[in-house]
Structure 1
Amino acid sequence: MPVIITEMNRSECLGLLSSQRLGRLACCLDGQPYVVPVTFASDGNYLYGFSLTGKKIEWMRTNPRVCLQVDEFAGHGEWRSVIVDGKFEELPDRMGWKHARDHAWSLLSQHANWWEPGGLKPADENPTPHVFYRIIIENLTGRKSVTEPD
């Protein structure tokens, strides 16, 4: 059976983002890329996440330009993949950010273990403060494959 690859429209891209919880977040500092798995929740304009402070957060604070990749494999040559280009925005625990933080928490907490992997560090590391953040979706692209009958 032949496989056809097509572009996904914005609605299809947003649909995949809303159905998935795990993505690969890329950030960059001084020309060095860094990619890490993250859990997220989507509301159409933003992707919300949670993390302890560390390399990812420090790099995004310095350079807020990020990219997130999400995919889904259905088997038999069928898959979908979306790439989000966006901008990191921290949701600090202070006045003016309460609504955004509460919204992030409400979306993320709808799923069991929503704080993993961002809320976990290796056992030998000291705990660090947690951070709620969002990625402002600036551009979406997606592709999908479809198996056509012979």
Structure 2
Amino acid sequence: MRISTLSESECKVVLANHRVAHLACTNNWRPYVVAIHYVFADDVIYAFSLPGKKIEWMRYNPLVCLMVEEKQQGRAWKSVVVDGLYEELRDGIGRKHDEREHAWSLLGQNANWWEPGALKPETTLPSDQLPPVFFRILVKEISGRQARE
């Protein structure tokens, strides 16, 4: 087995070619890791979730980490880790609203993009349902490794 470092551009190719990652956040020295669907575009990671533990924790501490892995033939693999900054894309007027719509349009290009986070979001919600949270992760650092036979 030979393990080597991926270049930044190789890491970005891995991110762009996948849709599921593991997102890590922390609160009061406690880690939390969860699978999310995402899209990598414009050197930014876009995702969505219903309100809950990960959203609360990322609001409290916006420093997050995202890991994408790619199993290849035999024992070969690639792994990419992103250190980033959580930024919520709130609904409303202005730049954040436009970015939220952009995230929605990018995510919507993939089948079942709302899973595993929730049921498919609708443009109008029942009055008792909390709205989905669209967010992005601004990439601060990216690294990756690969193993080949």
TM-score by length of 1: 0.90
* Alpha carbons 1:50, 1:119 under 8 Å: kept: no
CA RMSD of aligned residues (A): 1.2
Secondary structure at 1:118's aligned position in 2? Answer: coil
Provide, for residues 58-100 of structure 1, a one-character-per-residue CA deviation record: whole Å limited to 9, x for no partner: 0000000000000000131110000000000000001121221
Work out which of the residue numbers 119, 137, 141 in structure 2 matches 1:139: 141
Secondary structure at 1:40's aligned position in 2? Answer: strand
1:75 aligns with 2:73: yes
1:102 aligns with 2:88: no
1:112 aligns with 2:104: no
- Structure 2: 5+ residue stretches without partners: 120-127
Q: Which amino acid aligns with 1:95?
A: I
Provide, for residues 20-76 of structure 1, a one-character-per-residue CA deviation record: whole Å limited to 9, x for no partner: 000000000000000000000001421000100000000000000000000000131
Q: Which amino acid aligns with 1:144?
A: Q
Q: Give the Cα separation in 1 of the matches to 2:6 and 2:58.
A: 28
* Alpha carbons 1:14, 1:44 under 8 Å: kept: no
Taking the TM superposition and a 5 Å limit, the aligned residue runs for 1:81-96 are 81-96=79-94
Provide, for residues 106-135 of structure 1, a one-character-per-residue CA deviation record: whole Å limited to 9, x for no partner: 110110000111124xxxxx8432100000
Q: Which amino acid aligns with 1:98?
A: H
Q: Which amino acid aligns with 1:13?
A: C
1:9 aligns with 2:7: yes
Q: Give the Cα separation in 2 of the matches to 1:39 and 1:70.
A: 11
TM-score by length of 2: 0.90
- Structure 1: 5+ residue stretches without partners: 121-125
Q: Give the Cα separation in 1 of the matches to 2:101 and 2:70.
A: 29
Number of residues of Structure 1 aligned to a counterpart in Structure 2: 140
Secondary structure at 1:24's aligned position in 2? Answer: strand
